[in-house]
C-alpha cells in the first residue's frame, strides 16, 4: 500500500504531457481566484481544445485511488549489447544470413529480459529453426515469382495482386507467432487470429501496390502521353498516402485488440477510423518543417560538384528525413493507441513519447549508424529502449493473482507464415 | 555466513507457477556438490529438484538469474547472479560474447565481412550462375527492361533514316568482328546516354549522338557497350543487384528504421565499387575491338575528354542504366585508353 502511494507521487511528477508546439497549451481546469468571476474561468475552460487528439485522455491523466503505477525500467547495458550484437552480426555475415534467426532470438531475448516491469523481466522464447524454415520457404517462392515476372512482365501486376490475397491470413498468424513468443511472470501472451476482419484492407493494399507497380512500369496512363503519366502518378501517390495509413492503422488496431495475456483479453477503446483520423488531425507543422529542410538541403547539395557525392548526399538526406517523418507519425499513433489500451479491467497504459523527439531521435540514430557503418545500431537500440521506458507508465488496478493463464498453449506455431508476412515489408513488430 | 565451508548457498527468489501471474516469495538453496536445488516454500514445506530438471542460461551479467523447471514453473532470483549461482550460457557463442576483448574482433568482422561478401563471394556466385542462364531467358529479360525504360524515360527517335542506316552499318561491322550475333542497335530519344540491355540490344539516344558530333566517338562508345554485351554484364548486374539486396535484407532483418538507412547507403557504396571493375573491363574490350577493326582505341579516350568538356552541363554517363554513377574517374579512363592505343601502335 505504502509503496503504491509513493510510486504514484514520484511518477506523476515526472510525467510531462507534450503538446503540439504550434498551438496554445490547453488551460488547466481550475477554481476561480478570489478576484475572478466564475464566468471568466468558464470561458477559459471553453477555449480548451477538446479535439486535441495527441493529448492523454482525461481519465488517464491521474491514477485512480485503487491503481498503482508500476515501475518500468530498462536495465540493458550498451557495451554488453554491443558485444552480443557484433558477435551475432558477424555470424550472420559468415553464414550468408543463415544465422539470422538465431541472432534475432538472442537479441530479442536480451532486450526482453532487461525490460523490467514491477521488478520482473519479460521473457522471449522462439525456435530459430522454425523461423529459418519460414525464411527458406519465402526465398523459394520469391525465386519462382521473380522468374515468372521476367518471363512475362504482364504477369507482374496480377502476381502482386495474387500474393496479397492470403496476406490477411499470413498477418494474423504472424501476429499470433510474435505475441506467443513473449511471456511475463511466466504467463505467455497470445493472439486470437481473425483473418476476415482484415481481409478487405489487405486486398486494398494489394490493389494499391499492383497499381503503383504498373504505374512505374508505364502501363497506366501511357496512352495519354506525359500528361497521362502525370495523372497516373498523382493518383497512385494519393492512393498510397491514404490507403497505406488506413491499412496500417487497421493492422495496429487488430494487433492490439485481439491480443491476450494469459486468459485476459486486451481491450482497445478506439475505432480504426479514429486512429486513421488522428494521423491527419494535426502534425502538419512537423511535415512542413521536414519538407522545407529537404528542399533546403537539396538546394545546398547543388554546391557539391562531384556528381557521385551529390547524389549520395541527396539520397542520405531523403532517407533520414523520411525516417524522421515515419517515426513521428508512428509515435503519435502508438501514443494514441496505448493511451486507449487496457488488459482485462486491471492494466492501463499512459504513453508520453514526444513524437518530434522520436523523429529527431530516429534521424540521429540513422546518421550515427551510417557514419559507423552500422556499429552504432546496438547503441541506438539500447538508447531508444531507455527512452521508451521513461515515457511509458503501466498502471495496475488489483492484484497479479487476478491474471490466470490460458489453457491451450500452441507455442511457436506460425513461424513459417511469420517469415512470409515479413517479406511484405509491413511493420509486424513494434 | 556459516555456509562458507559447505557447498550450499541460499537466496531469496520469486516463484511463478504458470497458473496465474502472482509470484510466491521462496527461499532457494543450491547444492553445488550434488547439483540439486531446494525450494523452501512460503508455507514452510520444501521440495528438492534434481539438476536435470532445471535449465538456465543468461547472456547478461546484469540480469537476475532465472531457472526454468521442466514442469513449466519459473524461478527468478532476487539478485543478479553471483558465485555459485552463476549459470552461464555454455554455448560457444555465449562464451565468445562474455569475453570483453572479443568485441573488437567481432566489430572488425562486422565491418570487413560485407566488403568481402560483396566484392569476392557475390561476383563469384554470379560468375557461376550467369553462364548457365539460357540466352532465350536473357532475351526475355532484355525485353522486360526495355519496355519499362521506354515507357518511363525514352521516347521514339527523331534521327533521319540515312543517319540511322549509316550508324547501324558501323555498329554491325563491330558486332561482326566481335562475333556477337545477338547484338543490335536501337535508337531512342531521351537523356544523353548509351547502354546495353540483357540479350544484346544496345540503346543509344539522339541526344548522345548530337553531343558527340563525330561518328568516331560514337563508334568507340558503341564498342564499349559491346564489351558489356560480350560479358553479359547487364544480366550479371541485375542478378548481382537482386542477390545483394536480398542478402542485405536478411543480414539486417530487424524492425529498426536505422538499419534501413545503413542498408541502402551500404549497398550503394559497395555495389559501385564492384561495377567499376566491370566498366574497366568494358573499356579494355572496346580498345581491343577497335584495334581489331583497324580503328584507333584513342577515340574512346577522346569521347571521354569530350564528356569532361560538356560534363558541367550534362550529367552524362556511358552507364548501363543505373542512375547513381558507378564508373571509374574519367581522367583515369582517358589515360587507360591512350595507353592502350600506344600499345597497339595507334599514335596520333
Ligand atoms: Zn559501361
| CA atoms of A208 and A198, how far apart (whole Å) | 16
| CA atoms of A193 and A166, how far apart (whole Å) | 14
| CA atoms of A75 and A83, how far apart (whole Å) | 16
Ligand 1 centroid vs A290 CA: distance in angstroms?
37
DSSP string, B44-68: S-EEEE-GGGEE--BS-SSSEEEEE
User: Is residue B288 domain-shared with residue B239, that is, in the same domain?
Assistant: yes
Kindly report, residue by residue over B63-101, the tens digit of the pLDDT: 777 888 888 888 888 766 555 566 677 788 888 888 888
Can you tell me the mean pLDDT for B102-125? 87
Residue B24 lies in a domain: yes
- Supply A149's cell numbers: 515476372
| CA atoms of B265 and A283, how far apart (whole Å) | 29
pLDDT over 60 at B20, yes or no = yes
Contact criterion met (CB below 8 Å) for A161 and A210: yes
User: Is residue B24 domain-shared with residue B124, that is, in the same domain?
Assistant: no
Q: Is A281 exposed, middle or buried (0-12, 13-18, 19+ CB in 10 A)?
A: middle
- Supply B104's cell numbers: 573488437
Kindly report, residue by residue over B278-296, the tens digit of the pLDDT: 888 888 999 889 888 888 8
Min mean pLDDT across A79-93, A205-219, A290-304, B210-224 is at A205-219
Spell out the long-range contacts of A287-293 with Cβ–Cβ below 8 A and sequence spacing 24 or more: A287/A325, A290/A321, A290/A324, A290/A325, A290/A359, A293/A321
User: Could you say which DSSP state residue B99 is in?
Assistant: S
Residue B321 lies in a domain: yes
Of A66-70, A313-317, B226-230, B291-295, which one has max mean pLDDT?
B226-230
Q: Helix count (H) and strand count (E) of chain A?
A: 16, 11
pLDDT of residue B334: 81
Is B141–A106 a contact, with Cβ atoms under 8 angstroms apart?
no
A404 touches chain B (CB under 8 A): yes
Is B19–A405 a contact, with Cβ atoms under 8 angstroms apart?
yes
User: Is residue B180 domain-shared with residue B322, that is, in the same domain?
Assistant: yes
Is the whole-model pTM more than 0.80?
Answer: no
pLDDT of residue A20: 40
- Supply A108's cell numbers: 530479442
DSSP string, B1-45: -GGGSSSEEEEEEEEE-SSBS--EEEEEEEETTTTEEEEE-TTS-
| CA atoms of A23 and A46, how far apart (whole Å) | 15
Would you place residue A379 in the very low, low, confident or very high pLDDT band (cuts 50, 70, 90)?
very high
Residue B311 CA to its chain's centroid (Å): 30
Residues of B in contact with A139 (CB under 8 A): 246
Residue B92 lies in a domain: no
Using DSSP's 3-state secondary structure scheme, residue B158 falls into coil
Mean pLDDT over each residue of chain B, to the nearest integer: 78
| CA atoms of A281 and A332, how far apart (whole Å) | 11
User: Is residue B160 domain-shared with residue B218, that is, in the same domain?
Assistant: yes
pLDDT of residue A184: 92
Kindly report, residue by residue over A76-103, the tens digit of the pLDDT: 899 999 999 999 989 988 988 888 889 8
User: Is residue B73 domain-shared with residue B125, that is, in the same domain?
Assistant: no
Residue B59 lies in a domain: yes
Residue B103 lies in a domain: no
Ligand 1 centroid vs B225 CA: distance in angstroms?
6
Residue B113 lies in a domain: yes
| CA atoms of A51 and A55, how far apart (whole Å) | 9
Contact criterion met (CB below 8 Å) for A258 and A193: yes
Q: Could you give the C-alpha distances from B102 to A408, B106, B251, B281, in angstroms and in order?
A: 43, 6, 21, 40
User: Is residue B81 domain-shared with residue B118, that is, in the same domain?
Assistant: no
Contact criterion met (CB below 8 Å) for B256 and B159: no
A195 touches chain B (CB under 8 A): no
Residue matched to cell numbers 599514335: B347
| CA atoms of A159 and A210, how far apart (whole Å) | 8
Can you tell me the mean pLDDT for A285-302? 81
| CA atoms of B246 and A275, how far apart (whole Å) | 33
pLDDT of residue B194: 85
- Phi, psi of A180, rounded to the nearest 5 degrees: -65, -25
pLDDT over 50 at B317, yes or no = no
pLDDT, greater one: B115 or B259:
B115
User: Is residue B197 domain-shared with residue B255, that is, in the same domain?
Assistant: yes
- Considering only CB atoms, A312 lies closest to which of B22, B60, B268, namely B268
What's the number of domains chain B is made of? 2
B103 touches chain A (CB under 8 A): yes
Is A315–B268 a contact, with Cβ atoms under 8 angstroms apart?
yes
Is A121–B266 a contact, with Cβ atoms under 8 angstroms apart?
no
Pairing of strands B184-189, B201-205: parallel
Is A150–B61 a contact, with Cβ atoms under 8 angstroms apart?
no
Residue matched to cell numbers 488517464: A60
Q: What is the CA radius of gyration of chain A?
A: 24
Ligand 1 centroid vs B95 CA: distance in angstroms?
49
B4 touches chain A (CB under 8 A): no
User: Could you say which DSSP state residue B185 is in?
Assistant: E
- Domain of B67? 11-86
- Considering only CB atoms, A83 lies closest to which of B20, B103, B117, namely B103
The alpha-helical segments, DSSP class H, found in A260-354 are 272-281, 284-301, 307-338
pLDDT, greater one: A224 or B47:
B47
Min mean pLDDT across A189-193, A291-295, A346-350, B252-256 is at B252-256
Ligand 1 centroid vs B228 CA: distance in angstroms?
7
Would you place residue A279 in the very low, low, confident or very high pLDDT band (cuts 50, 70, 90)?
confident
Is A327–B257 a contact, with Cβ atoms under 8 angstroms apart?
yes
- Supply A237's cell numbers: 501517390
Which residues 6+ apart lie within 8 Å of B269 measured at CB?
A312
Count of C-beta atoms within a 10 Å radius of residue B305: 19
| CA atoms of B278 and B236, how far apart (whole Å) | 10
Contact criterion met (CB below 8 Å) for B202 and B183: yes
Ligand 1 centroid vs B284 CA: distance in angstroms?
11
| CA atoms of A156 and A139, how far apart (whole Å) | 17
Is B262–A96 a contact, with Cβ atoms under 8 angstroms apart?
no
pLDDT over 60 at A154, yes or no = yes
pLDDT, greater one: A226 or B61:
B61
Q: What's the complex ipTM?
A: 0.75
Which residues 6+ apart lie within 8 Å of A407 measured at CB?
A263
User: Is residue B119 domain-shared with residue B182, that is, in the same domain?
Assistant: yes
Of A211-215, A268-272, B35-39, B308-312, which one has max mean pLDDT?
A268-272
Amino acid at each position: 500500500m505504502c509503496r503504491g502511494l509513493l510510486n504514484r507521487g514520484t511518477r506523476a511528477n515526472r510525467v510531462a504531457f507534450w503538446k503540439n508546439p504550434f498551438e496554445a497549451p490547453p488551460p488547466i481546469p481550475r477554481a476561480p481566484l478570489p478576484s475572478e468571476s466564475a464566468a471568466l474561468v468558464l470561458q477559459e475552460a471553453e477555449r480548451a481544445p477538446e479535439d486535441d487528439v495527441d493529448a492523454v485522455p482525461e481519465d488517464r491523466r491521474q491514477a485512480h485511488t485503487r491503481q498503482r503505477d508500476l515501475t518500468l525500467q530498462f536495465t540493458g547495458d550498451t557495451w554488453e549489447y554491443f558485444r552480443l550484437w557484433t558477435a551475432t552480426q558477424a555470424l550472420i555475415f559468415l553464414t550468408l544470413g543463415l544465422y539470422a534467426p538465431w541472432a534475432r532470438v538472442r537479441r530479442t531475448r536480451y532486450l526482453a529480459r532487461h525490460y523490467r516491469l514491477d521488478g520482473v523481466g519479460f521473457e522471449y522464447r522462439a525456435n530459430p529453426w522454425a523461423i529459418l524454415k519460414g525464411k527458406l520457404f519465402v526465398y523459394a517462392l520469391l525465386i519462382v515469382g521473380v522468374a515468372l515476372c521476367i518471363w512475362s512482365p504482364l504477369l507482374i501486376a496480377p502476381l502482386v495482386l495474387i500474393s496479397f490475397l492470403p496476406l490477411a491470413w499470413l498477418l494474423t498468424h504472424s501476429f499470433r507467432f510474435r505475441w506467443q513468443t513473449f511471456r511475463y511472470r511466466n504467463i505467455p501472451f497470445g493472439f486470437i487470429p481473425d483473418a476476415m476482419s482484415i481481409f478487405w484492407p489487405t486486398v486494398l493494399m494489394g490493389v494499391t501496390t499492383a497499381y503503383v507497380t504498373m504505374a512505374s512500369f508505364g502501363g497506366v496512363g501511357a496512352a495519354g502521353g506525359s500528361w497521362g503519366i502525370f495523372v497516373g502518378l498523382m493518383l497512385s501517390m494519393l492512393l498510397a498516402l491514404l490507403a497505406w495509413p488506413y491499412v496500417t492503422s487497421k493492422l495496429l488496431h487488430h494487433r492490439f485488440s485481439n491480443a491476450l495475456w494469459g486468459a485476459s483479453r486486451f481491450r482497445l477503446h478506439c475505432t480504426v477510423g479514429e486512429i486513421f483520423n488522428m494521423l491527419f488531425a494535426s502534425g502538419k507543422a512537423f511535415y512542413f518543417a521536414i519538407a522545407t529542410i529537404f528542399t533546403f538541403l537539396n538546394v545546398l547539395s547543388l554546391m557539391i560538384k562531384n556528381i557521385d557525392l551529390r547524389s549520395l548526399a541527396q539520397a542520405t538526406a531523403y532517407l533520414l528525413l523520411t525516417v524522421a517523418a515515419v517515426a513521428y507519425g508512428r509515435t503519435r499513433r502508438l501514443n494514441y493507441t496505448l493511451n486507449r489500451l487496457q488488459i482485462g479491467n486491471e492494466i492501463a497504459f499512459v504513453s508520453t513519447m514526444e513524437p518530434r523527439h522520436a523523429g529527431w531521435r530516429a534521424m540521429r540514430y540513422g546518421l550515427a549508424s551510417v557514419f559507423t557503418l552500422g556499429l552504432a545500431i546496438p547503441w541506438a537500440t539500447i538508447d531508444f529502449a531507455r527512452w521508451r521506458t521513461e515515457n511509458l507508465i503501466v498502471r495496475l488496478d488489483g492484484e497479479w493473482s487476478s491474471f490466470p493463464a490460458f489453457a491451450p498453449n500452441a507455442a511457436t506455431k506460425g513461424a513459417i507464415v511469420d517469415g512470409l508476412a515479413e517479406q511484405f515489408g509491413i511493420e509486424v513488430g513494434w | 555466513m556459516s555456509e562458507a565451508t559447505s557447498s550450499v548457498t541460499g537466496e531469496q527468489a520469486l516463484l511463478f507457477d504458470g497458473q496465474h501471474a502472482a509470484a510466491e516469495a521462496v527461499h532457494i538453496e543450491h547444492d553445488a556438490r550434488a547439483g540439486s536445488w531446494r525450494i523452501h516454500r512460503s508455507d514452510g514445506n520444501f521440495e528438492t529438484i534434481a539438476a536435470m530438471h532445471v535449465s538456465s542460461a543468461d547472456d547478461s551479467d546484469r540480469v537476475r538469474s532465472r531457472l526454468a523447471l521442466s514442469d513449466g514453473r519459473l524461478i527468478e532470483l532476487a539478485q543478479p547472479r553471483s558465485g555459485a549461482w552463476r549459470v552461464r550460457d555454455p554455448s560457444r557463442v555465449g562464451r565468445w560474447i562474455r569475453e570483453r576483448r572479443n568485441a573488437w574482433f567481432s566489430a572488425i568482422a562486422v565491418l570487413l565481412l560485407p566488403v568481402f561478401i560483396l566484392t569476392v563471394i557475390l561476383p563469384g556466385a554470379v560468375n557461376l550462375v550467369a553462364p548457365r542462364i539460357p540466352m532465350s531467358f536473357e532475351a526475355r529479360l532484355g525485353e522486360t527492361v526495355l519496355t519499362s525504360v521506354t515507357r518511363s524515360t525514352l521516347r521514339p527517335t527523331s534521327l533521319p533514316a540515312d543517319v540511322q542506316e549509316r550508324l547501324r552499318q558501323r555498329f554491325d561491322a563491330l558486332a561482326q568482328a566481335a562475333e556477337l550475333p545477338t547484338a543490335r542497335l536501337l535508337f531512342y530519344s531521351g537523356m544523353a546516354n548509351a547502354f546495353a540491355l540483357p540479350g544484346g540490344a544496345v540503346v543509344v539516344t539522339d541526344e548522345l549522338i548530337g553531343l558527340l558530333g563525330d561518328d568516331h566517338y560514337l563508334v568507340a562508345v558503341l564498342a564499349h557497350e559491346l564489351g558489356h554485351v560480350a560479358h553479359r554484364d547487364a544480366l550479371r548486374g541485375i542478378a548481382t543487384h537482386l542477390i545483394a539486396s536480398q542478402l542485405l535484407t536478411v543480414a539486417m532483418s530487424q524492425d529498426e528504421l536505422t538499419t534501413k538507412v545503413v542498408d541502402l547507403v551500404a549497398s550503394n557504396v559497395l555495389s559501385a565499387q564492384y561495377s567499376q571493375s566491370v566498366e574497366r573491363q568494358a573499356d579494355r574490350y572496346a580498345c581491343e575491338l577497335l584495334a581489331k577493326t583497324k580503328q584507333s582505341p584513342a577515340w574512346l579516350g577522346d569521347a571521354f575528354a569530350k564528356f569532361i568538356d560538356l560534363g558541367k552541363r550534362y550529367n552524362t554517363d556511358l552507364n548501363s542504366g543505373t542512375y547513381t554513377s558507378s564508373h571509374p574517374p574519367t581522367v583515369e579512363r582517358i589515360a587507360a585508353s591512350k595507353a592502350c592505343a600506344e600499345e597497339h601502335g595507334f599514335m596520333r
